[in-house]
Structure 1
Amino acid sequence: MTSREQLLASTFVSLADTLVADFDVIDFLHTLATRSVELLDVDAAGIMLADPHGGLHVMASSAEEARLLELYELQNNEGPCLDCFRSGRPVARDDLLAMRASWPAFTEQLQGLGFHSAQALPLRLRAETIGALNLFRLEPGSLSDADLRIGQAMADVATVGLIQERAISAGELLATQLQTALSGRVQLEQAKGVLAQRAGLPMAEAFQVMRAYARGHNRRLSDVAAQIIDGTLDENQLRSTR
């Protein structure tokens, strides 16, 4: 196995390994950007990711020039990365003339930073596109078909990892929210019992008293329940709102 093949294999392992407790999205994307430069015939790379509302943000770059170009794309709403994200397809132009026709301001900025070629690969899984990988070259012309396949494969694996991590994070948040709700419900039942005993009320009426107090004072029901249990809120205070 050649050194490039070894680097490619280790890259795919790194991009697939998002199931770690200390997973760092920024470091993960920086790995994708730097490995793109090491493995492909490009001189700089950058990555944009979409937020939940569909807005793109510069997340990682292999060089400061790449970061500046991506920021320029966003500020001027023009460039290959934006077209790639919107279409969900790879975007490239054959030469500078074609680039100027599509992205005149961006191409001028690109050349001003010493580059003569730019193209973008989507970070996508099936119909979902979550961002794009920007690839910049000092020389004119597009990547070879072999490099394009490798670049898109890395982008695809990275996308799977990112979507998987998002799903896990969302699942953990949902589990936390569910556990909080369950704990609050137990606390609520305890408070109902305490109030019913102290005030000589049926359980259903005790709940209505608690709820009326919470609404009347713009309080969370769980907070009212906690105060009833620890004794800082008594039945007289609760009844004063009825």
Structure 2
Amino acid sequence: MSRDELTRFLTRLRRAADDGRDLSAASAATAARLLSVQGLTLSLRATSGALEPLWGTSTDEHAPGLEELQYTLGEGPTVDAARTGHTVIAADLTDRAAAERWPVLTAAPTSSPHAVIAVPLRLGVVTAGVLTGYRTTPGPFTPTQRLDLDAFARIALNLLLNTPPRTLAVPRPGTAPRPDVSLRRAQVHRAAGFLSSRLDITVEDALLRLRAHAFSHDRPLADVARDVLADRLHLTPDV
């Protein structure tokens, strides 16, 4: 990686943010390469605490899979960074320390990467989202890598704030949101709300039941949500 190339990339994105551009101005593949990671994702943190994958390296086979697994299980570096507001680093997801901290995640059969760094996107005291870098080789992230990821995270937050409102919450009058930047978890939240009403439980408990079913049946969480909403899957209070 050329330091000059990274500097030019970050400078261009800062200008894009100043000009009101959104996350589409940043190539995830280019960012991952320049930041020396194999995968890069950005997840928005909903007011409920749930994470919404919004942007990332769609062609990478590792990052999306591990991100989905963290969301399904409700544990992992990204989840912890969103909850605590602090950067979380796992130098090797196969070591004892990782297994003790995230026992379900590390026990799950997956081709997950060896090293993960999750950087919270902070708006004052509020954590708006998490930028997560994935590396396929174990080992610590160097101080320079951490500084570079922190710098990109700050720029990504500014781009996120420019992202069309419909992709983040309720659309504002007069906006024309881009259809290719959308929340992928809306169905899951609708299914949790539906299940909450049907079983007379909290939305949080309903989401846990959806996650448990998805994990125990080795299915994507979004597929389980679709089946619940279509009345093809009937979860009981004991599930």
Specify the TM-score bucket, using the shorter chain as the normaliser. 0.5 to 0.7
Match of 2:105 in 1: 106
Match of 2:74 in 1: 77
Alignment-mate amino acid for residue 82 of structure 1: V
Shift of the 138–15 alpha-carbon distance from structure 1 to 2, 3 Å rule, reads same
1:1-242 equivalences in 2 (<5 Å): 3-18=2-17, 23-25=21-23, 27-28=24-25, 31=27, 33-62=28-57, 63-95=60-92, 96-109=95-108, 112-113=110-111, 115-163=113-161, 173=172
> Once the two structures are aligned, what percentage of the paired residues are identical?
26
Deviation at 1:118, TM superposition (A): 1.4
Consecutive unaligned residues of structure 2, counting only runs of 5 or more, are 175-239
Deviation at 1:160, TM superposition (A): 2.5
Deviation at 1:165, TM superposition (A): 5.1
Matched-pair contact (CA < 8 Å) for 1:81–1:134: yes
Cα distance in 2 for residues equivalent to 1:55 and 1:16:
31
Deviation at 1:145, TM superposition (A): 0.7
Cα distance in 2 for residues equivalent to 1:42 and 1:97:
23
Shift of the 165–139 alpha-carbon distance from structure 1 to 2, 3 Å rule, reads closer
Where 1:112 maps in the other structure, the secondary structure is: coil
Bigger radius of gyration? 1
Deviation at 1:87, TM superposition (A): 1.1
Alignment-mate amino acid for residue 107 of structure 1: T
- Give the TM-score normalised by structure 2: 0.59
Deviation at 1:69, TM superposition (A): 0.9
Higher relative contact order (CA 8 A, sep 6+): 2
Shift of the 101–7 alpha-carbon distance from structure 1 to 2, 3 Å rule, reads same
Cα distance in 1 for residues equivalent to 2:67 and 2:15:
25
Cα RMSD over matched residues? Answer: 3.1
Matched-pair contact (CA < 8 Å) for 2:119–2:130: yes
Matched-pair contact (CA < 8 Å) for 2:44–2:128: yes
More helix by share: 1
Matched-pair contact (CA < 8 Å) for 1:36–1:151: no
Deviation string 1:94-146 (CA, Å, 9 cap, x unpaired) is: 4422111111232344x831521112111123322111111111111221011
